[in-house]
Amino acid sequence: MFNKFKNNNSAGLPALISPNTHVTGQIDCEGELQVDGKVTGDLQVTTLIVGQHGEVHGNIVADTVQIKGTINGNINAQSVHLEVSAKVHGDVAHDTLIIDAGAHLEGKLTHKQAPDNITPIKEQASAQ
C-alpha cells in the first residue's frame, strides 16, 4: 500500500490508523500515533498508542509506548506501558517499564540506562 508514511504533526492532533484499516510500510511520526487497525512495517514515532484491537507487525522506536493490543516485533522506547490486554512477542528495551497484571510478554527485557547507583555484590563484599 504505502512505502513510507510521514506525519509532521504540528497541530497536536494524533495520527490515527482506524479499525478495519491495514497499512503496509514504514511509518515516521513526530507526534502521537494511535493504531486501532493493523500495521505491517517498522514505526518510528514520538508517542505510540496501540488500541485493544490494534496490531503492529514490525519494530517500534519511540519515546513513549502504550500497548493494549498486539505487537509482533521489538520495542525500543524510553517509557513502555503494557496494559492488561497487551500481547507482545518480541524484545523490549526501555528506561521505564510498567506491566499490568494480565499483560502477555514473550521476549527479553533490557533496561537501557546503565545503573550508576548499583554496586556489584563482589565489590560490596570486599569493601566490608
Residue 73: how many CB atoms within 10 A of its CB? 19
CA distance 46 to 41: 16
pLDDT value for 118: 60
37-52 confidence digits (pLDDT tens):
999 999 999 999 999 9
Number of helices followed by number of strands (H, E) in the chain: 1, 15
The band of 1, judged by pLDDT with boundaries at 50, 70 and 90, is very low
pTM of model > 0.85: no
Residue boundaries of the structural domains of the chain: 4-127
88 to 53, 108, 111: CA distances (angstroms): 13, 11, 17
